Amino acid sequence: MNPLPTVILPGYLAGALEYEPLRQTLEGLGFPTRVVPLRVRSWLPTLGGRPITPILKVLHTTLQQTLQEFGTDRVNLVAHSAGGWIARIYLGSVPYGGQVWQGRDRVATLISLGSPHTSRERWTKRNLDFVNNHYPGAFWPQVNYVCVAGKVIQGQRWGLGSLRESYLTWLAYNSYQLTAGKGELWGDGIIPIEAAHLQGATNLTLPDCYHSGRGGRRWYGTPEVVEEWAQYLL
Protein backbone atom coordinates (compact mmCIF):
# COMPACT_ATOMS: atom_id res chain seq x y z
CA MET A 1 0.00 0.00 0.00
CA ASN A 2 1.46 3.35 -1.06
CA PRO A 3 1.76 6.08 1.60
CA LEU A 4 -0.59 9.02 1.42
CA PRO A 5 0.81 12.21 -0.11
CA THR A 6 2.13 14.77 2.35
CA VAL A 7 1.60 18.54 2.31
CA ILE A 8 4.00 20.86 4.18
CA LEU A 9 2.59 24.07 5.69
CA PRO A 10 5.36 26.63 6.38
CA GLY A 11 5.72 28.56 9.61
CA TYR A 12 4.88 32.20 10.21
CA LEU A 13 6.51 34.66 7.78
CA ALA A 14 8.23 31.77 5.98
CA GLY A 15 8.05 30.91 2.30
CA ALA A 16 7.83 27.58 0.52
CA LEU A 17 11.41 27.71 -0.76
CA GLU A 18 12.70 27.39 2.79
CA TYR A 19 11.07 23.94 3.02
CA GLU A 20 12.34 22.53 -0.26
CA PRO A 21 15.13 20.50 1.46
CA LEU A 22 12.52 19.00 3.81
CA ARG A 23 10.32 18.14 0.83
CA GLN A 24 13.25 16.41 -0.86
CA THR A 25 14.08 14.47 2.32
CA LEU A 26 10.51 13.19 2.63
CA GLU A 27 10.45 12.28 -1.06
CA GLY A 28 13.69 10.35 -0.52
CA LEU A 29 12.01 8.40 2.28
CA GLY A 30 9.19 7.41 -0.06
CA PHE A 31 6.59 10.05 0.86
CA PRO A 32 5.30 12.05 -2.12
CA THR A 33 5.31 15.63 -0.85
CA ARG A 34 4.10 19.09 -1.86
CA VAL A 35 4.67 22.44 -0.12
CA VAL A 36 1.96 25.08 0.29
CA PRO A 37 3.27 27.76 -2.14
CA LEU A 38 3.53 30.66 0.30
CA ARG A 39 5.88 33.62 0.08
CA VAL A 40 6.91 35.95 2.88
CA ARG A 41 4.50 38.55 1.48
CA SER A 42 1.65 36.04 1.71
CA TRP A 43 1.66 36.64 5.46
CA LEU A 44 1.47 40.44 5.35
CA PRO A 45 -2.38 40.58 5.51
CA THR A 46 -2.25 38.55 8.74
CA LEU A 47 0.09 40.84 10.69
CA GLY A 48 -1.06 42.35 13.97
CA GLY A 49 -3.22 39.42 14.96
CA ARG A 50 -5.55 39.70 11.98
CA PRO A 51 -7.29 36.54 10.69
CA ILE A 52 -5.09 34.04 8.91
CA THR A 53 -7.80 33.40 6.30
CA PRO A 54 -5.44 34.17 3.35
CA ILE A 55 -3.17 31.32 4.49
CA LEU A 56 -6.09 28.95 4.95
CA LYS A 57 -7.23 29.64 1.38
CA VAL A 58 -3.84 28.74 -0.09
CA LEU A 59 -3.65 25.66 2.16
CA HIS A 60 -7.09 24.54 1.02
CA THR A 61 -6.25 25.00 -2.66
CA THR A 62 -3.00 23.06 -2.26
CA LEU A 63 -4.75 20.18 -0.51
CA GLN A 64 -7.43 20.01 -3.19
CA GLN A 65 -4.82 19.98 -5.95
CA THR A 66 -2.81 17.28 -4.15
CA LEU A 67 -5.88 15.09 -3.65
CA GLN A 68 -6.67 15.36 -7.34
CA GLU A 69 -3.07 14.80 -8.44
CA PHE A 70 -2.72 11.56 -6.48
CA GLY A 71 -6.30 10.34 -6.78
CA THR A 72 -6.81 10.00 -3.04
CA ASP A 73 -9.34 11.29 -0.55
CA ARG A 74 -6.91 12.25 2.23
CA VAL A 75 -3.40 13.60 2.74
CA ASN A 76 -0.97 13.90 5.62
CA LEU A 77 -0.20 17.42 6.79
CA VAL A 78 3.18 18.45 8.22
CA ALA A 79 3.02 21.92 9.77
CA HIS A 80 5.97 23.86 11.16
CA SER A 81 5.75 26.45 13.93
CA ALA A 82 2.58 28.58 13.63
CA GLY A 83 1.51 26.29 10.82
CA GLY A 84 0.53 23.78 13.50
CA TRP A 85 -2.23 25.86 15.05
CA ILE A 86 -3.28 27.20 11.65
CA ALA A 87 -3.75 23.59 10.56
CA ARG A 88 -5.94 22.99 13.61
CA ILE A 89 -8.21 25.83 12.49
CA TYR A 90 -8.35 24.24 9.04
CA LEU A 91 -9.52 20.93 10.51
CA GLY A 92 -12.46 22.59 12.22
CA SER A 93 -16.21 22.90 11.81
CA VAL A 94 -16.79 26.34 13.33
CA PRO A 95 -16.85 29.20 10.77
CA TYR A 96 -13.58 31.13 10.62
CA GLY A 97 -13.05 33.98 8.20
CA GLY A 98 -16.56 33.48 6.89
CA GLN A 99 -15.94 29.87 5.88
CA VAL A 100 -16.25 26.38 7.38
CA TRP A 101 -13.05 24.58 6.38
CA GLN A 102 -13.70 21.02 7.65
CA GLY A 103 -10.21 19.87 6.76
CA ARG A 104 -10.59 16.87 9.06
CA ASP A 105 -12.33 15.15 6.14
CA ARG A 106 -9.19 15.53 4.03
CA VAL A 107 -6.35 15.08 6.58
CA ALA A 108 -5.36 11.67 7.94
CA THR A 109 -2.38 12.72 10.09
CA LEU A 110 -1.33 16.14 11.33
CA ILE A 111 2.31 16.40 12.41
CA SER A 112 3.16 19.71 14.07
CA LEU A 113 6.84 20.62 14.36
CA GLY A 114 7.72 23.07 17.13
CA SER A 115 4.25 24.61 17.03
CA PRO A 116 3.13 27.10 19.71
CA HIS A 117 -0.22 25.57 20.62
CA THR A 118 -0.55 28.13 23.43
CA SER A 119 0.40 31.80 23.56
CA ARG A 120 0.21 34.83 25.83
CA GLU A 121 1.47 37.14 23.11
CA ARG A 122 -1.34 39.59 22.35
CA TRP A 123 -1.01 39.45 18.57
CA THR A 124 -1.50 35.68 18.39
CA LYS A 125 -3.62 35.08 21.48
CA ARG A 126 -6.95 35.82 19.77
CA ASN A 127 -6.40 33.22 17.05
CA LEU A 128 -5.01 30.65 19.48
CA ASP A 129 -7.88 31.20 21.91
CA PHE A 130 -10.24 30.45 19.02
CA VAL A 131 -8.40 27.19 18.33
CA ASN A 132 -8.12 26.02 21.92
CA ASN A 133 -11.65 27.00 22.93
CA HIS A 134 -13.26 25.23 19.99
CA TYR A 135 -10.82 22.34 19.40
CA PRO A 136 -8.83 21.62 22.59
CA GLY A 137 -6.09 19.01 22.43
CA ALA A 138 -6.18 16.24 19.84
CA PHE A 139 -9.81 17.12 19.16
CA TRP A 140 -10.86 15.15 16.09
CA PRO A 141 -10.78 11.36 16.64
CA GLN A 142 -10.47 10.66 12.91
CA VAL A 143 -7.20 12.65 12.71
CA ASN A 144 -3.92 11.25 14.01
CA TYR A 145 -2.20 14.10 15.86
CA VAL A 146 1.59 13.95 16.30
CA CYS A 147 3.25 16.88 18.10
CA VAL A 148 7.02 17.16 17.90
CA ALA A 149 9.04 19.35 20.28
CA GLY A 150 12.77 20.02 20.38
CA LYS A 151 14.86 20.02 23.55
CA VAL A 152 18.07 21.96 23.13
CA ILE A 153 17.99 25.19 25.20
CA GLN A 154 16.76 25.98 28.69
CA GLY A 155 15.65 29.57 28.99
CA GLN A 156 17.55 31.81 31.43
CA ARG A 157 16.76 35.43 32.22
CA TRP A 158 20.41 36.17 32.85
CA GLY A 159 22.39 34.11 30.37
CA LEU A 160 25.55 32.26 31.36
CA GLY A 161 28.57 31.22 29.35
CA SER A 162 29.82 32.86 26.16
CA LEU A 163 28.15 35.92 24.65
CA ARG A 164 26.42 33.72 22.06
CA GLU A 165 25.22 31.22 24.68
CA SER A 166 23.98 34.05 26.90
CA TYR A 167 22.03 35.54 24.02
CA LEU A 168 20.44 32.21 23.04
CA THR A 169 19.31 31.38 26.58
CA TRP A 170 18.01 34.94 27.07
CA LEU A 171 16.14 34.79 23.76
CA ALA A 172 14.68 31.40 24.71
CA TYR A 173 13.62 32.70 28.13
CA ASN A 174 11.69 35.61 26.63
CA SER A 175 10.14 33.51 23.86
CA TYR A 176 9.10 30.73 26.24
CA GLN A 177 7.56 33.27 28.60
CA LEU A 178 5.48 34.78 25.79
CA THR A 179 4.34 31.33 24.74
CA ALA A 180 3.84 29.46 28.02
CA GLY A 181 4.04 32.10 30.74
CA LYS A 182 7.30 30.69 32.12
CA GLY A 183 10.79 31.36 30.86
CA GLU A 184 12.99 28.79 32.58
CA LEU A 185 11.70 25.87 30.52
CA TRP A 186 13.33 23.56 28.01
CA GLY A 187 12.53 23.83 24.34
CA ASP A 188 13.83 24.36 20.83
CA GLY A 189 15.07 27.88 21.53
CA ILE A 190 11.78 29.50 20.46
CA ILE A 191 8.96 27.18 21.58
CA PRO A 192 9.00 25.35 24.94
CA ILE A 193 8.18 21.67 25.03
CA GLU A 194 4.94 22.06 26.98
CA ALA A 195 3.54 24.50 24.40
CA ALA A 196 4.48 22.26 21.46
CA HIS A 197 2.58 19.26 22.82
CA LEU A 198 -1.17 18.63 22.89
CA GLN A 199 -3.20 16.57 25.30
CA GLY A 200 -4.29 13.32 23.65
CA ALA A 201 -1.73 13.55 20.83
CA THR A 202 1.31 11.40 20.22
CA ASN A 203 3.86 13.76 21.76
CA LEU A 204 7.52 13.44 20.84
CA THR A 205 10.50 15.29 22.34
CA LEU A 206 13.66 15.21 20.24
CA PRO A 207 17.05 16.12 21.77
CA ASP A 208 19.40 18.68 20.22
CA CYS A 209 16.72 19.98 17.88
CA TYR A 210 16.41 23.71 17.17
CA HIS A 211 13.30 25.53 15.98
CA SER A 212 14.77 26.33 12.58
CA GLY A 213 17.73 25.27 10.50
CA ARG A 214 19.07 28.76 9.87
CA GLY A 215 22.81 28.88 10.30
CA GLY A 216 23.13 25.17 9.55
CA ARG A 217 21.65 24.06 12.88
CA ARG A 218 20.10 20.66 13.49
CA TRP A 219 16.33 21.19 13.34
CA TYR A 220 13.06 19.40 12.62
CA GLY A 221 13.94 19.24 8.93
CA THR A 222 17.45 17.79 9.31
CA PRO A 223 17.39 14.38 7.56
CA GLU A 224 18.23 12.27 10.63
CA VAL A 225 15.58 14.16 12.63
CA VAL A 226 12.99 13.73 9.89
CA GLU A 227 13.51 9.98 10.06
CA GLU A 228 12.42 10.05 13.72
CA TRP A 229 9.01 11.59 13.06
CA ALA A 230 8.32 10.60 9.44
CA GLN A 231 7.47 7.05 10.54
CA TYR A 232 4.15 8.48 11.78
CA LEU A 233 3.20 9.36 8.20
CA LEU A 234 2.71 5.66 7.43
Summarize pLDDT for 193-234 with one digit per residue, the tens.
999 999 999 999 999 999 999 889 999 999 999 999 999 998
| SS3 state at 99 | strand
Tens-digit pLDDT profile for residues 39-78: 999 999 999 989 999 999 999 999 999 999 999 999 999 9
Task: Give the predicted TM-score (pTM) of the model.
Answer: 0.96
* The Cα angle at residue 108 between residues 105 and 109, in degrees rounded to 5: 135
15-21: long-range contacts, CB 8 A cutoff, minimum separation 24: 15/39, 15/40, 15/42, 19/80, 19/221, 21/213, 21/221
> What DSSP state is assigned to residue 16?
G
pLDDT at position 1 over 80: no
**DSSP bridge pairs for 210:** 219
Tens-digit pLDDT profile for residues 104-121: 999 999 999 999 999 988
Q: Give residue 158's pLDDT.
A: 77
Q: Give residue 19's pLDDT.
A: 98
Tens-digit pLDDT profile for residues 151-201: 999 999 876 677 778 889 999 999 999 999 999 999 999 999 999 999 999
Q: Give residue 159's pLDDT.
A: 64
pLDDT band at 125 (very low <50, low <70, confident <90, very high): confident
CA–CA separation, 15 vs 210, rounded Å? 19
CB 164 within 8 A of CB 227: no
Q: Give residue 69's pLDDT.
A: 98
> What DSSP state is assigned to residue 186?
E
* The Cα angle at residue 57 between residues 194 and 117, in degrees rounded to 5: 5
Q: Give residue 122's pLDDT.
A: 81
* The Cα angle at residue 171 between residues 168 and 172, in degrees rounded to 5: 85
- Alpha carbon separation from 30 to 85, 209, 234 (Å, rounded): 26, 23, 10
Q: Give residue 160's pLDDT.
A: 66
What CATH code is assigned to 6-149+192-233?
Answer: 3.40.50.1820
